[in-house]
A and B are shown apart, each in its own frame.
Chain A
Amino acid sequence: MFKIGGRILKSRLFVGTGKLPDYSLIEKMYSEAKVEVFAVAVRRIGPNTKHTKNVLEYIPKDAITMVNTSGAMNHKEAVKIAQIGRELTSSDWVKVEIEKDTKYLFPDNYETLKACEILVKEGFKVFPYIYPDLNIAKELEQIGVEAVMPLGSPIGTNKGIGCEVLLKPIINEVKIPVIIDAGIGRPSHAAHAMELGADAVLINTAIATSSDPVKMAVAFSKAVEAGRLAFEVGLLKEYEYAQASSPLDEFIKG
């Protein structure tokens, strides 16, 4: 159980929906992998047509919709997209995603900060997707966002926690939850993120593009639980050399 955005959640696994082959998998992830938070790109929220249903119709009513501003090129667009998203979904959870470039999809921390300042004032529960930078994370904490979502590795790369040395200080220093977003390709990566002390992870590509997204979500959910449990117990330190064993102590002491 943990508290975030004014809600108590059981699951620390958040899932992105943008790359899914079929939205009906959302309901199955909710029931089988117990995922409670689904990120939805506002740019993909379309009306029902004769071929497709609006993505929102697939999100279970007790789950949380986190609207995502992806596609926004600057803070103004992000704010507007968030406002439209809130109207469409009645959810005030917003993942602020403003990318610096479409090649690596690195978040633009500067524009993100500006968008968050406005959105917090407007009463949104703000979850900024950021490039792992402690200074920005602290500023965001100051202005009142609900959590920070630093990337683990560039989006879609499945490379795991490539930015560990940058993520650790953020996890240690900010008091608000840290959700590792992007780059997590395997359940073991997610477990790693949790062992480091992250509060949750958000997975998109690794689940959506697997051959069985629901089973993969279950795998991730278990890994997240395992990693969290280990973090709570406290991981044993790794030592460079074997520990001296007590029988020798006698002789060493002479």
Chain B
Amino acid sequence: MMEYLKEALEVYSQYENYIPSFDEAREILIKEFLDKSDLVKLLNIEDERLIRIMAKKAKKLTEANFGKVIMLFAPLYISNFCQNGCTYCGFSNLKNCPRERLEREQMEIEMKSLKDEGIDSVIILTGEDRVNSDFEYIKSACSVAVDYFSEVSIEVYPLLENEYEELAKIGVVGITIYQETYQKDDYEKLHLFGPKKDYEFRLLTPERALKTGFHEACVGPLLGLSHPEKDAFCAILHAEYLMNKFPKAEISLSFPRFRDANTGFKPSYLVSDKEYIKFLLAARIYLPRVGIVISTRERAALRDALMDICITKMSAGSKTTVGGYATSKDEKLGQFEIDDSRSVSEIVNVIIQKGLRPEFTNWVKGVGKL
């Protein structure tokens, strides 16, 4: 992956400031298979007319590949202990915030309330703390979750290959891991201390998981931490790399934008809606079969506008606090602020109004347990 990224960044630097003419961009959009330089050019487009054409193409590709379906899922925070010093995060060790972790009974209460909402696909999240939420703790949470949900994924600290193997065996199917930024020098500046400082170990995480039999991996940057176009480009190529290396796995991309987490951190870049939309469209056009996830970090109106164009998966009714589903908690204690706070029912209604089918079940329970 390191080599692949290095080569990709060379292509990027060649076209970094290249804005294609209207005609050239249209030529690119007619192509069936795009190359890396085409991708950089699409990411540099500014002309709104072209972005509209991109949206049309993206919609067609999404429908052809995924149909008129939106998969819904929810995150489930089980612990916010964290040893890392990520300057931008609400759970960072730099922050003095109440720490807690759910024990089995509390987890089940959370899971039941998600299940009551109709959610059947969850992502188990923790901060990074091998003492307060060690591997065994994560594993036990996953084994409870696989009894409740048909699809269980994790978004926890990078694990070792044998650990992923154990999780795959109990039926965990997916992993989400954000590289935050693919620009190594910025990465080092943003992560002050803790195991997360190891850029490469994190970058190779999805590969470790997919090798052991995980079915799905979702990758992405946290937009705003570093140069956004460059990070979007690297993330798309990261997804492509994984698709090529693990052709049977389902790979998704997510492009969260930095959201305030009451840390006082000010991101170096602000990513406008226009840019954000363009990144999603470029990802769809470059990789027609990649899943594209949009979280509740984005506001309702934008999520609604994008859902029938390029999105395949959305979170719904999310809480980013530990134990937030069963007990109402101060949202300020969450990992970041959420913007779309609509209930699952409200989101389902919008999906239906858009002529799409909300889908909750995406996996066959127990098949991972082979």
B247→A102 contact, CB < 8 A:
yes
Instruction: Enumerate chain A residues within 8 angstroms of B243, measured Cβ to Cβ.
Output: 101-103
- Which of A46, A100, A102 sits near B360, CB closer than 8 Å? A46
A205 to B344, CA, bound (A): 27
Instruction: Enumerate chain B residues within 8 angstroms of A105, measured Cβ to Cβ.
Output: 289
- Which of B150, B244, B344, B355 sits near A21, CB closer than 8 Å? B355
Instruction: Enumerate chain A residues within 8 angstroms of B366, measured Cβ to Cβ.
Output: 80, 84
Q: Known contacts A81-B364, A101-B248: does B370 contact A76 (CB below 8 Å)? A: yes
Q: Which of B327-365 contact A (CB under 8 A)?
A: 344-345, 348, 352, 355-365
Instruction: Enumerate chain B residues within 8 angstroms of A102, measured Cβ to Cβ.
Output: 243, 247-251, 289
- Which of A22, A81, A205 sits near B367, CB closer than 8 Å? A81
Q: Any chain A CB within 8 A of the CB of B120?
A: yes
Beta-carbon nearest neighbor of B308 in chain A = A21
Q: How far is the CB of B150 from chain A (nearest CB, A)?
A: 7
The total of Cβ contacts below 8 Å across the A-B interface reads 107
Q: Any chain A CB within 8 A of the CB of B68?
A: yes
- Which of A42, A101, A208 sits near B68, CB closer than 8 Å? A208
A101 to B215, CA, bound (A): 12
Beta-carbon nearest neighbor of A78 in chain B = B367
Instruction: Enumerate chain B residues within 8 angstroms of A101, measured Cβ to Cβ.
Output: 243, 247-248
- Which of B117, B247, B345, B357 sits near A100, CB closer than 8 Å? B247
B348→A209 contact, CB < 8 A:
no
Q: Any chain B CB within 8 A of the CB of A50?
A: yes
Q: Any chain B CB within 8 A of the CB of A188?
A: no
Q: Any chain A CB within 8 A of the CB of B194?
A: no
A208→B118 contact, CB < 8 A:
no
Beta-carbon nearest neighbor of A208 in chain B = B67
Q: How far is the CB of B35 from chain A (nearest CB, A)?
A: 15
Q: Which of A12-65 contact B (CB under 8 A)?
A: 18-23, 42-47, 49-52
Q: How far is the CB of B364 from chain A (nearest CB, A)?
A: 5
Q: Which of A62-119 contact B (CB under 8 A)?
A: 71-73, 76-77, 80-81, 84, 99-103, 105
Q: Any chain B CB within 8 A of the CB of A157?
A: yes
Q: Which 9 A-B pairs have the closest CB atoms?
A: A19-B67, A46-B361, A101-B247, A49-B118, A21-B68, A209-B63, A156-B64, A73-B248, A51-B348
Contacts A/B (CB < 8 Å), 16 sampled: A19-B68, A46-B359, A46-B360, A51-B360, A52-B118, A52-B360, A73-B215, A73-B248, A81-B364, A101-B247, A102-B251, A103-B243, A205-B63, A208-B67, A209-B64, A209-B68
Which B residues have a C-beta under 8 Å from some C-beta of A?
63-69, 116-118, 120, 150, 213, 215, 243-244, 247-251, 289, 344-345, 348, 352, 355-367, 370
